[in-house]
Chains A and B, each alone.
Chain A
Amino acid sequence: NAGVMQNPRHLVRRRGQEARLRCSPMKGHSHVYWYRQLPEEGLKFMVYLQKENIIDESGMPKERFSAEFPKEGPSILRIQQVVRGDSAAYFCASSQQEMDEQYFGPGTRLTVT
């Protein structure tokens, strides 16, 4: 049973470009969560999605950030017009039930130059 998959593992973007981060949950999991982690800091909740629905996006900046979890395919976190402050590790996690045990992917390390 494959774990949570994320790609790419490393992403370099210049200021103003778009970043697309993908997350495939564990098999049988329909709940996906995205977190941001700055160096030597904790995990900050961004958004919680179920298939085709955004359940809670209270942790996600209203400008430039968006997330989706389509019926088919991975969940995508999209950051438009990236700035240096967006540089961080972005982790997704999935769970089988709502607000249940979460299993994390390996993360995408975004570097904005």
Chain B
Amino acid sequence: GENVEQHPSTLSVQEGDSAVIKCTYSDSASNYFPWYKQELGKRPQLIIDIRSNVGEKKDQRIAVTLNKTAKHFSLHITETQPEDSAVYFCAACGNQFYFGTGTSLTVIP
């Protein structure tokens, strides 16, 4: 089966700095890679996703990159704001969704 690893598990940045979260996967059949943001006590919400036929996707301050050869993908948040503080999960999807273990991001005002 698939194995998704996510790093770091916790990340603190100063407001305005960038944050990068990285995930690796093992199953070359995985072809869809979403990222979810989960605030405390709330549901995971899809913030951006990328499919295997694309190397990079950007939506305002959020971008995701995918390296299929190396089997890793990353979330980049620029100009971080306190409201970006949350737990972020990556996922790799082929026959099933496999989630990473999450990164707790804290943006310090």
Interface residues in chain A, defined as those with a beta carbon under 8 Å from any beta carbon in chain B: 33, 35, 41-45, 48, 56, 58, 91, 99-107
Contacts and interface: CB of A to CB of B under 8 A. Distances in A.
Contacts of B36: 104
Contacts of A35: 99
A91 B96 contact: no
Classify the secondary structure of B's interface with A: strand
Contacts of B95: 56, 99
B45 A104 contact: yes
Contacts of A42: 89, 99-102
Contacts of B46: 101-103
B45 to A, nearest CB: 7
B45 A101 contact: no
Nearest to A106: B43
Given A91-B44, A102-B34, A43 B96 contact: no
Contacts of A106: 42-43
B99 A43 contact: yes
List the 8 closest pairs (A to B, CB-CB), nearest first: A104-B43, A42-B101, A43-B99, A104-B44, A42-B102, A42-B99, A106-B43, A99-B93
